[in-house]
A and B are shown apart, each in its own frame.
Chain A
């Protein structure tokens, strides 16, 4: 009886691992497919049955994507917009979060603001897309990085405020008390005591903010046409109804997700917190 119990347990764990392996293959395969498509020659991409392990490799697609006209400009647009958005949302957002985490303002006011900020985040971006398009056009800001940064910061702020609010509330009150005794002003306490202590949280928040603007497509596609075009818009431009430029699209796609993957590895510890707006502390 004992042996059969052990066999059953072994079988159960084998089944468990098989199941997890299957799920992992389904989840990870598309990523492999993206990379492999980008280094296959065109003939191998238009092949049935699909070639999963190519024996001819090429980096032509990468060269082609990087040497297209103004490729460096679009890369710079993406990098600059994402960095500026991250910096602005983190500074303005954590200042607001600090004021909301402290109790100097009336309870009702703070709660009202916190809820209002949450509601802003819930709205679908498409609902502001039309007014943005017209207002930005009327201001003469169409096709500028500035217009993208404006809209991205607006979209990112609620997220940063909510996340940082949670991180600030987690800090022990005693440390700030000591700073008060030492006669630090509120700004000094924020910049020199609280923010350095909340640095791990701030870093993760910044990474999430960066990834969000790096990935953003809707606003970029309506507010830019050429000068301020970002990479997601460039990728969408590779697609037409007649034919798919698989190799080039995959090459640019692979390059685009490299920074995202690299950064996201650093979010592990606060991942769930970031995903849930700070509601679930994983």
Chain B
């Protein structure tokens, strides 16, 4: 039997390795441009490296290279050298690297394999041939290290987003990696989830048992942990490699250009708060959409039914922007679907102002669920969290023209006009060069902009958005907000379901949901001053942390890292 090498002592910790890159470059098969090029740096053992760069700059490629997925699993062309400890990545079998390196991805749902928590943690150990007794003692320890002690028998689908991401961290910690790589681990999390993950990372970083490479947009929380910072530009070239303490004024400019969320206190005095730029008071437009006493209950096998919404009333006027906030599972998405007529409430009503007939000033209020698809498409647009799922065409140009085609029916003579209009829209949304590209091949930020562009030729009176800034860096967020602002000044009513406290100042009103009930309806300032949640609850702590990273003065960080002080 050749299994002898599979047995290894459970206590055999791998010492944290140093990382040394010398002119590292990688070009994916089928691409002409390298994803990363000429990266040269040395990270000492047991230190924390923060990798910063705009979306699509090759940060994930560096993570994959460190884990050996590049060049051993994914095809492409390798340049230069990369050493993890004494191992040269390009010459080391992926299996050997895999024993020393743990990689945590952005989307927790597509990295968990098993349905029970302890099976999930053991999966990586089984793959590496650990003996049973070692696994039995290691699994609970790894869960404890990730802040999930006692979760062994839980079913993974029942975990919250933050818990799932910490489980993914437990998975890689279990195998005792010397090098821990986290690729935007909080990009898809709500504030409480993000907070919990960062707390856990801080504990790990302080122990100095791992070399950690962290890829993250949220500078405020991430810089606190980092020893060194690596900056990468749009083309995957290295801009800087410097101690985190030395991040000075010129570095901040670089960071801003990279699309990172730079803490407010670091910015030049008087620089506009990006989210607040378009804020203004509401003029009393007509009510375009209202929900009154809406109750939504899903059938649930365990306890009869799950009440997603219970007596919620909201109305939105022309030219008004409402932020819909609340913890995961509060009912935000259900409310959006109900207001778009896609979910029928079991009690209460939803009314949408239909197009006025000739000679009338305002149209009648109608039930959106009873409208034909083309009628409702003319009034309401909904941008889903995952814009990909809403695409209907094979090119970006057709995607934009599709909505206009619905209106002109089967009249093919209008097509050329639509295509011409679509090109103009794409140029305006900064997507002009991608007109003939497949919508599914665009980056996350480009897809989000395309989903907004698709509504532009025939803008709906009401726009509903589910997490419009999920996974976007600051540049992406600003681009989306700018486009929303243009529409709003033209009188569009907008409702944004969001976890992102940085968007609140750009809204006229905040409606907060908690466990299916509306618990707040008022100005963003009043909301931020006193979030209407259980003060001991994690959501409020998360809001506080999120607000701090975008708006408030982060005393503890600036004290240590005054701009230019390093």
Is the pairing of A and B real? no
- Residue numbers of A with Cβ under 8 A of B are none
